[in-house]
Chains A and B, each alone.
Chain A
């Protein structure tokens, strides 16, 4: 199996902040892994180390049988020989080469014949709708077209491992949707392993077969998207995934609500530092009919559903409702918690898993 193995990777750029902090992880073959995390958490650095553009201070990186890098025995495979595809956030298309030249560059490196280059180019041209652009220079293309050229260039040599660093962040939302499905389709048809960096959690949820949530140079959790969503390992993951954010209820500060949740989840309140409740796991009911009463503060219709801001004895929480809210602003209503969307976190911010 050609899985990517990272073993105790440390990378420090000097200074006191560590970019990647003792990272160990296995990305299985054929997965579409999304590296998700806030800005500066080390996603790009991790990707660049896998590509060999950056060397770790210590640790080991391997891909299948091949050891890319090891600080134990000094193994280091040059980027040129790792045979992977990398796409930069800036695309890094060469401005002095035409679309054709850009795309067949990798084939040229392998001394492929003119026929082969031509054939592969035509395939890619079709796949990425690049007809008519063959002799244009990158500066004569739109952002979306440049993006497709960059994708085509990366795929020209049919690499088995694709690394993409926020490839969609420069696109408008329509194109982004289109490219997302394009990527997903590519992944399914090519069967390659993709590591995809993003800090857009929607993108991660829709694209990935597994999501790795990174925080401060470490992977906090890696799991299937729904698993991440339903069973976040830590408060950080719970907060980072999901929009609007999970409601966090501090058991000391928001006592009433915390008490109500501890009863609902059947857990002692003093074992819990924070409770979390997904906005869609809260149901609005008539006053006094729910677990607790709340006052409506704001109602924001999004078209598909309503985001309702509630105030429960001083604490503001958000609720997503697919039905028209039963009251209007300043009305008092009752709310019901669904157990599946509610979590409790201990003093180390880890989720308490009930036996």
Chain B
């Protein structure tokens, strides 16, 4: 009896000993556990705080209606869903959001798929350049498209300088200038490059032999596309769909700029108004609703991934598909692709640039052109310094670099680390938990997340000091928000490498750090750099996440442009946006040069 107890006790010890030695050989488990702890706090705490805010009485309301601060209440749930104002703050915005998301996603997906197919697999003219040019809209902040639209189509409904068409004597109707139509189009044009990138890389990953087999069996190109390629793209299509819907739901700039004049409110702008009016209970409830929609999307995603997992094609030989000849369709398709580039990338740039160079819109007289908005010490009619002399803009520029830069570097490394832990601990709780938790922030729109961080870090908690008004809060919130992208790309990068290279090193006597530094890191160099570039771009043009966390002194370029717009300084706003676009593009080019990787790598051509 006694001996069996002690022997079972012993076997536990022995088991632990083996586990421990295994851990020394491969400390993935340790890394995973540390990540689990850090992420739990950074991700779960804000979520908990949102939930608690949604059902506890605020101090303000406690004083007004008599009750205790922090008391449990359904007041805010009521206010959002079933009060005299719920139509205005929730139901109509919900309907609007869904409408806009639906159309924007539909357009973005279609454009992305068509353009990706054309560029990777056909002989349209200029496919080499299109691969890069078509992702430029992705580098522009989402307010670029919106302000360009406004600069072009605005009418007398709102004040400020004339719209371009207006100055030519054409007055655009309200439905064209503001509201659902321009919002959907602008969002679609901002987000299609993403679909384009994903489809392109999926297309280039499909094992060409799958198609060759089909053609030896007598299938024509058309049949190969409909029976083999498109079905193989279903998983990609689903994730593009999911990502785009989620993005459009969380976008703030476009509806803020194009919806507000027509009083066309989306959930995101409604949430922002509630934040501005300090209604933290309502903010929480709306944020939860937005997040629930996100959860639904995630469930669909999980279901799809599980369902289509068998489709994951392993190890294409990396042979490029022969571009198929388009015949008479070559010219129209080429035209189509270039027109999209013109509308989505070049157009906004030109419109924005022109507006900052012309003193009066629409007047193309040579004397009307000038650099006043850029270099003037005091811009006439505005009582504001020009962009380059404005201390606010200089500070914002510095902040943008600092915040987006640090956040993206942290994100890149964190993503690979998560990828490593997830891929090397398959089937364990840690792996599943990390995968899910790093994806959670995706479900919360940036605005909601920012609201949560605002309430969470306004005061010091435990070892973490009060961060409100500091740059570190902005970095932190950015890191956590971009974690889903970082971890996803980290996971897929790690998946691609597989354990063998590392195991080969192990056999030859390389310890853990050695394996990481001389085998894994070089193998993942390009993945890492891409994992840094992408969040950097996003960070430089991030608005919704930071718009309510910034304080004077921590303004970013994006928020500064919104301030300018709020004051009616359209040209200054446009100039700031141009700076963002240029900075982003230059950074991309520099990094490309440095690393010889290319955002468009994996595209045809």
Contact = CB atoms under 8 A, between A and B. Distances in A.
A71 interface: yes
> In this complex, which of A71, A96, A153 has the most chain B Cβ atoms within 10 angstroms of its Cβ?
A96
Contacts of B22: 55, 76
B509 A94 contact: no
A88 B18 contact: no
A180 to B, nearest CB: 23
B261 to A, nearest CB: 54
B494 to A, nearest CB: 15
B486 to A, nearest CB: 22
A128 interface: no
Interface in B103-152: none
B112 to A, nearest CB: 31
Given A92-B501, A94-B501, A94-B519, A153 B18 contact: no
B506 interface: yes
B367 interface: no
B522 interface: yes
Given A53-B506, A105-B510, A106-B509, A74 B17 contact: yes
B508 interface: yes
A86 B21 contact: no
A97 B510 CA distance: 15
Contact of B510 (A14, A80, A156): A80
> In this complex, which of B13, B15, B518 has the most chain A Cβ atoms within 10 angstroms of its Cβ?
B518
Label chain B's interface by main secondary structure.
helix
Interface in A83-126: 83-86, 88, 90, 92-97, 105-106, 109-110
A105 B501 CA distance: 12
B427 interface: yes
Nearest to B504: A92
Contacts of B24: 78
Interface string B496-514: 0001110111111111001
> In this complex, which of B504, B507, B510, B523 has the most chain A Cβ atoms within 10 angstroms of its Cβ?
B507
Nearest to A84: B507
B25 interface: yes
B503 A153 contact: no
B14 interface: yes
Contacts of A74: 13-18, 21
A95 B520 CA distance: 11
Contacts of A73: 14, 17
B507 A85 contact: yes
Given A80-B510, A94-B504, 10 more contacts: A52-B506, A76-B21, A80-B506, A80-B507, A82-B507, A86-B504, A97-B522, A105-B505, A109-B510, A156-B508
9 contacts: A51-B503, A53-B506, A53-B507, A76-B18, A76-B25, A83-B509, A86-B504, A94-B501, A157-B508
Closest CB pairs A-B (n = 4): A74-B17, A106-B508, A92-B500, A76-B21
Interface of B: 13-18, 21-22, 24-25, 427, 499-501, 503-511, 514, 518-519, 522-523, 525
